[in-house]
Amino acid sequence: MKRKNAKNTKSSKVSFAKTLLIAEDLLDQTSQRSTKLRTATRTLGQQIGAQPHVLYVDPNGPFPESGFDFLDQGQLTQAIEKLKQENIPATTTPGYPADAILQIANNKKAGPKMLALGTHARTGIKRMLLGSVAEEVVRNSNIPVLLVSDNVKRLPNAKEAQPIIVGTDLGPNSRAAEVFALELAEKSKLPVMLYYNLFEGLNPVYKTALSSPSNAERLKDVIEKEKDLRRKQIEARLKPFLKKKINATAFFHTELMPASDGLVQLAEKQGSYLIIGTHGRDLISQAFLGSTARDVIVRSAIPVITIRPRAI
């Protein structure tokens, strides 16, 4: 359905400072995923002191042949009225979704504190997870991004002190995720759990060798030394949290299992949020939305927060 002469609230005239911006498809407003997204956003907003604010990007502006679904004036008015009833303000803007979202998100003076996006387990934002919009937004956002997929089973609850799980490769690219987790833990009073996967951090030669049971015994001493080294590094990464009196622990995964599987399994059992850096050396693919990150975002039972190394 095409909309003609629809009245949009000009995003250029709106300050999104101190907001948690929800980039949402208003046609999907009544779905379980959309409801979960807004619920998670309200909880996170309270924890970080940010007002949820919905952004609807209308591709009928300069992209009339884009093929995106969009709302007619009656649908738009109805959708915004429903949001008002939930005390969530909304802004509409024309443009290509990824460009419009990033232009607002990366505005240092008037941009939001965080972004929030819903992703379908099969394909994603407007049927485009693993496509251009979701990948471009998460890869290029200068602020943290909250992602809620159809597979999210457990939402953050202020009454339950479930830990903030942080995937780390113990390298410099994980610092931003750890710093953000520290800030979130201070504000929310939630505990923190650092997750490190020994298998992912091993030299590729050792990984290949360990696939054979006969080599496992011969590499035993090497693996033990690697474990000792990584334990010390994990202890060092926990110190900033402990100094702030935050209840912080580590999950040191030593099984021969990919990090994505380990993180997803951990999130099935516990956790409020799962925080991952988008350019980790091993934990997250350099290209982002490679198999590890895709699996974590789509399969996680709890909301995922992604963050670029330089975003903090």
Q: What CATH number does the domain containing 184 carry? A: 3.40.50.620
The answer on 278 and 201 residing in a single domain is: yes
Residue 193 — pLDDT band, cuts 50, 70, 90?
very high
Domain stops at, among 96, 114, 149: 149
- What is the model's pLDDT at position 60? 62
Residue 250's domain comprises 164-307
Looking at per-residue pLDDT, the higher value among 44 and 135 belongs to 44
The answer on 193 and 134 residing in a single domain is: no
Cβ atoms of residues 182 and 241 within 8 Å? yes
Domain stops at, among 92, 121, 149: 149
The answer on 189 and 133 residing in a single domain is: no
- What is the model's pLDDT at position 312? 59
- Asked if residue 244 belongs to a domain, the reply is yes
- Asked if residue 276 belongs to a domain, the reply is yes
Q: What number is the average pLDDT over the span 234-239?
A: 96
- Asked if residue 154 belongs to a domain, the reply is no
103, pLDDT greater than 80: yes
The answer on 179 and 101 residing in a single domain is: no
Q: What is the pLDDT of residues 145-171, one digit of tens each?
A: 999 988 899 999 877 889 999 999 898
The answer on 144 and 188 residing in a single domain is: no
Domain stops at, among 120, 149, 178: 149
- Asked if residue 253 belongs to a domain, the reply is yes
Closest CA to 22 of 148, 132, 174, 159: 148
Predicted model pTM: 0.85
Number of domains, the chain: 2
